[in-house]
Amino acid sequence: MANRTPRRVSAPLSRVDRVAGGLLGVHAGDALGATVEFSDWAAVRLAYPGGVTEIVGGGPFGWSPGHATDDTDLTRAVLLAYLAPGPDVVRTAADHMLAWLRGDWPDRSAGSGPVDIGGATARGLAAYQRTGDPRRAGAGTGNAGNGSLMRCLPTALAVADPPRRVRESMEISAITHDDPRCTVACAAYNEIAAALLGGVPPDAAVREGERTAADLGSADVAEAVGYGRQLDLKRAAATGDTGRVGGAGFVLDSLSLAVAAVLDPRPLPEVLVDVVRLGMDADTNAAIAGGLLGVRDGVAAIPSRWVARLQFAGEFTAAAARLAG
Name the β-bridge partners of 58. Answer: 63
Please name every residue paired with 250 in a beta bridge, in sequence order, or none if there are none: 145
Residue 40 belongs to a domain: yes
* Interval 158-181 mean pLDDT: 98
40 band by pLDDT with thresholds 50, 70 and 90: very high
The number of distinct structural domains making up the chain is: 1
pLDDT of residue 325: 83
pLDDT digits (tens, 9 = 90+) for 186-234: 999 999 999 999 999 999 999 999 999 999 999 999 999 999 999 999 9
Report the C-alpha gap between 215 and 17 in whole angstroms: 30
pLDDT of residue 247: 80
pLDDT for the residue numbered 246: 87
3-class secondary structure, 128: helix
Classify residue 238: in a domain, yes or no: yes
Checking if the pLDDT of 281 tops 60, the result is: yes
In a domain, 1, yes or no: no
pLDDT value for 50: 95
Q: What is the pLDDT of residues 78-129, one digit of tens each?
A: 999 999 978 999 999 999 999 999 999 999 998 999 999 999 999 999 999 9
Contact 239, 274 (CB under 8 A): no
278: pLDDT strictly greater than 90: yes
| Pairwise CA distance, residues 287 & 23, whole Å | 9
Return the pLDDT at 10: 60
Q: Which of 221, 241, 222 is nearest to 231 (CA)?
A: 241
- Alpha-helical runs (H) found in 135-250: 153-158, 162-174, 180-197, 202-215, 219-230, 233-239
Q: How far is the C-alpha of 259 from the C-alpha of 81, rounded, in Å?
A: 26
Confidence of residue 172 (pLDDT cuts 50, 70, 90): very high
List 63's β-bridge partners, or say none: 58
- The answer as to whether 266 is a domain residue is yes
Domain boundaries, position 113: 15-324
Mean pLDDT of the chain, nearest integer: 95
pLDDT, mean of residues 296-321: 98
47 vs 42: CA distance, rounded Å: 9
Separation between Cα atoms, residue 109 and residue 250, nearest integer Å:
31
Q: Indicate if the pLDDT at residue 303 is higher than 70.
A: yes
Q: Is residue 6 part of a domain?
A: no
For residue 112, the SS3 value is coil
| Spatial distance between the Cα atoms of 146 and 221, rounded to a whole number of angstroms | 13
Quick check: 4 pLDDT over 90?
no
> Is residue 101 domain-resident?
yes
d(CA 71, CA 147): 8
CATH number, position 163: 1.10.4080.10
Q: Is the pLDDT of residue 163 over 70?
A: yes
Residue 85 or 256, more confident:
256
Q: Is residue 7 part of a domain?
A: no
Flag whether 10 is in a domain.
no
pTM score of the predicted model: 0.96
User: Which pLDDT does position 85 carry in this prediction?
Assistant: 78
Tell me what pLDDT residue 3 has: 47
Whether the predicted pLDDT of 8 surpasses 50 = no
pLDDT higher than threshold 50 for residue 5: no
